[in-house]
Chain A
């Protein structure tokens, strides 16, 4: 149970436990609960009135910009972690730090730009 695969085997075991808990709970629920579906009960709930149109109505994609910002920045952050673990190791130093500032500077530039262009506001 040691080493790389061992570690993740433990994680996997815990995952199975979690799924087991869920499955067990649902099984118990199945035994305990009543089951009497009626069409009204299965109707989509819209504050009590009859539902209008489809549930998957097309909605405005104003979140898209944020999604994009996130994808860009979060993925940039991928580089931070390997860097963060080694940058203070012997042999690295100010230069490494400066490089990361350059990197962060570009990220910050992106945010400043987005902010100035009012992308972050509500459109």
Chain B
């Protein structure tokens, strides 16, 4: 099998993940999208490892660690989401605004809009 196939699949998977991260507002769904991205990484690594006939199996080793990292991230992430949910009853990242930049009175024009706290706040959504 040519290496292009898994590589393209991985790229697509990664793109789906990126889309999810950008489009989803629920923290847990964002987390799942990140998992997709990480799995795209794994797919890439394993495919390349096999294709390259890497004698050190660097790709596979890295994959193992990526799996572990992903698991740890999920564990920590869910814990944080739970904690936030307990306190706020929402995990919508758009509605977590307590820490947003306070709107200064009469902000001088020309200064950049405070990303993360502007009225539309799109810039903060990548989180």
Q: How many A-B residue pairs have CB under 8 A?
A: 29
| Interface hits, B36-80 → A, CB 8 Å | 50, 64, 67-68, 71-72, 74-75, 78-79
The answer to whether A119 has its CB under 8 Å from any CB of chain B is no
Q: Report B's interface with A, CB cutoff 8 A.
A: 1, 50, 64, 67-68, 71-72, 74-75, 78-79, 82
The answer to whether A53 has its CB under 8 Å from any CB of chain B is no
Task: Assess whether A78 is in contact with B64, with CB atoms less than 8 Å apart.
Answer: yes
Contacts of B64 in A (CB 8 A): 78-79, 82
In the bound assembly, the distance between CA atoms of A104 and B71 in angstroms comes to 18
> What are 29 A-B residue pairs whose CB atoms fall within 8 Å in the complex?
A4-B50, A5-B1, A61-B82, A64-B78, A64-B79, A64-B82, A67-B78, A68-B75, A68-B78, A68-B79, A71-B71, A71-B72, A71-B74, A71-B75, A72-B71, A72-B72, A72-B75, A74-B71, A75-B67, A75-B68, A75-B71, A75-B72, A76-B68, A78-B64, A78-B67, A78-B68, A79-B64, A79-B68, A82-B64
Interface string of A52-80 (1 = CB under 8 A from B): 00000000010010011001101110110
Q: How large is the interface on A (under 10, 10 to 19, 20 to 34, 35 or more residues)?
A: 10 to 19
- Rounded to whole Å, the gap between the CB of A27 and the closest CB of chain B is 33
Main secondary structure of the interface of B (DSSP, over half): helix
In the bound assembly, the distance between CA atoms of A7 and B72 in angstroms comes to 32
In the bound assembly, the distance between CA atoms of A82 and B60 in angstroms comes to 11
| Interface hits, A1-39 → B, CB 8 Å | 4-5
- Rounded to whole Å, the gap between the CB of A71 and the closest CB of chain B is 5
Contacts of A64 in B (CB 8 A): 78-79, 82
- Rounded to whole Å, the gap between the CB of A93 and the closest CB of chain B is 21
